Structure 1
Amino acid sequence: MQVIGLCRFSYPAIGGFQVEHDSLEARIAYLYAEARLEERFQLMERVALPCLRAQTDPDFTLVIVIGDSLPAVHVARLRALTADMPQVQIRALPPGPHRKVMKQVLNDARHDPRAPCLQFRHDDDDAVSVDFVERLRQTAQDCQLLIARNQTLAIDFCKGFTARFQPDGIYAAEVHRPYFVAAMGMYVAGGCGQSIMNFAHHKIARFMPSITIPDAPMFVRTLNASNDSRQKGAKEPELTRLTPEQEGEFEARFAITR
C-alpha cells in the first residue's frame, strides 16, 4: 500500500495559518525573511529529515510543497538537503487556498487513485519515530475488518515529546497529544478522493473511525521562534534537560542528535 507524506516548507498559502497577515505580499515577506528561513532550514536539517532518512520501512513518498516564488538560493539549498532521499518530491506552486491546494497535491501523488493509500502530514520542525512508516502500515494491516467497512480511517500515535533545542542541550517533556499533526496518519480507500488535508487534525475523529496507539513515544514537536501554532499564547509543558542517556534514546528513536 502506498504511503504518502506531505510537508509544507514556507509555502505562502491563502489561509492555513494562525498568524494572520494583511496581504499575500505581507505573508510572503514574513515567510521568506532570512532569519526565519535560516531557522526553518536548521530544523529541517536537524529534526524533520533525519528521522525520515532512518525509517525502518523506506517505501514511502514525501512531497515537499514550496512556493514558486521561493528565492532560487533557498530552492537549491532544499534540493541539496534532500538529494540523498529518493522518497522526496519537491513541488513549487503558486499561492492558493491552503486546503484545496494540499488536497490536490496528495491526490496527484497517488500512483493509482483506484488503489488504497496511507497519508500523513509532516511539519518541517517535527520528527517522527524511525519506525513510524512501518507501524503505520502494520496498523492498517491490523485493522483490515474496520477498513473494509469505511472509506477512511485515522491512525493516531498519540504519545511523544515537546522539545526545545538550546546551546547546552535538548530540553523536553513527554506529552500525550491525541490527534496531533505529527505521527498521525490516515487510510484512504481506493477511488476515494478525500485526503488527510480534508480535515483539521484535531477534529478528524468527528468524521471517521480512529485508532489511537499510546504505547511508545512516536513524535517530537519542537518549540521555536516561528511555531505558527504557538503565536496565540498556548501554554506549554515544563521542559527539562535530557540526560546523556535520554539523548541516546532520542538519537535511537528519532535520529536526533544534540
Structure 2
Amino acid sequence: MQVIGFCRFSYPAEGGFQVEHDDLAARMAYLYAPARLDERLRLFETICLPSIAAQTDPDFTFVILIGDSLPEPAKARLEALVAGVPQAVIDARPPGAHRKVCQDAINAARSDMAAPCLQFRHDDDDAIAVDFVAALRQAAADCAALCAAHRLVGFDWNRGHLVSADAQGLCAEPVVHPYWGVAQALHVQGGVRQSVMNFGHQKIALHMPTVTFNAPDMYLRGHNGFNDSRQKAHVKPHPLPRLDAAGEDAMRARFNVDADRIRQVFASASGPRARA
C-alpha cells in the first residue's frame, strides 16, 4: 500500500494558520523573513529530515509543499538538503486555499487514485521514530476490517517528546498528547479525494473512527519561537530540560536526531549545507 507523508515548508496558504495576517503580502513577509527561514531550515535539517531519511521501511513518498515564491536562497538550501533523500519530493505551488492546495498536492503524489493509501502529516520542525512508517503499515493491516468498512480511518500515536534545539544541543521532556498532528495518519480508501490535510488534527475523531496507540515513543514535537501556535498573545514560556549524554543517545537511536549535528548546525553561519 502506498504511504505518503506531507510537510508544508513555509507555504503561504490562504487560511491554515492559527494566527491570521492582514493580507497575503503580510503573511509572506512573516513566513519569508530571513531569520525565520534560517531557523526553519536548521530545524528541518537537524530534526525533521534525519527521521525521514532513517525510516526502517523506506517505501514511501515525502511531499514537501512550498510556495512558488519561496526566496531562491532558501529554496536552494532546501533542495540541497533533500538531494540525498529519495523519498523527498518538493512541490512548489502558488498561494491558494489551504485545504484545497494540500489535498491537491497529496493526490498528485498518489500513484493510483483507485487504490487505498496511507497518509501522514508532518511539520518541518518535528520528527517521527525511525519505525513510524513500518508501524503505520502494521496498524493498517491489523485494522484491515475497519479500514475496509470506512472511507477514512485515523491512526494516532500520542506519546513522544517536546523538544527544542540550539547551539548547545537538544532540550526535551516526555509528553502524552493525543491528536497533536505529529505521528498521525489516515487510511484513505481508493477513490476518496479527501486527504489527511482536510481535517484539523485535533478533530479527526469527529469525522471518522480512530485508533490510538499510547506506546512506544513515536514523535518529537518542535518547540521554538516561530511555532504558529506560539505567536498568540499571552503564550507563556515553557523551558525544557537539557538532555544529558544518555538522553542524547536515546534520541539518536529512536529518531536519528543527533545532538552533535544540532550543535554544529546551530553554531555555524547561515548558508546552504548539503546532508553529510
TM-score, structure 1 length as denominator? 0.97
Match for residue 31 of structure 1? 31
Match for residue 253 of structure 2? 252
Cα RMSD after superposing both structures? 1.2
Match for residue 11 of structure 1? 11
Using the alignment, how far apart are the partners of 2:163 and 2:176 within structure 1?
A: 13
One-letter identity of the residue aligned with 1:139: A
Is 2:154–2:208's contact at 8 Å kept on the other side of the alignment? yes
Residue identity (%): 54
Shift in CA distance, 81/169, structure 1 to aligned 2, threshold 3 Å: closer
Partner secondary structure for residue 123 of structure 2: coil
Using the alignment, how far apart are the partners of 2:40 and 2:239 within structure 1?
A: 23
Shift in CA distance, 234/114, structure 1 to aligned 2, threshold 3 Å: farther
Using the alignment, how far apart are the partners of 2:23 and 2:227 within structure 1?
A: 20
| Pair 1:188-2:188 in alignment | yes
Match for residue 223 of structure 1? 223
How many residues are matched?
258
For structure 1, the 5+ residue unaligned runs are none
Partner secondary structure for residue 175 of structure 2: strand
Using the alignment, how far apart are the partners of 2:227 and 2:239 within structure 1?
A: 17
Using the alignment, how far apart are the partners of 1:103 and 1:234 within structure 2?
A: 31
Match for residue 74 of structure 2? 74
Match for residue 138 of structure 2? 138
Match for residue 98 of structure 2? 98
One-letter identity of the residue aligned with 1:63: V
Partner secondary structure for residue 225 of structure 2: coil
Partner secondary structure for residue 101 of structure 2: helix
TM-score, structure 2 length as denominator? 0.91
Using the alignment, how far apart are the partners of 1:241 and 1:206 within structure 2?
A: 37
One-letter identity of the residue aligned with 2:250: E
Partner secondary structure for residue 101 of structure 1: helix
For structure 2, the 5+ residue unaligned runs are 260-276
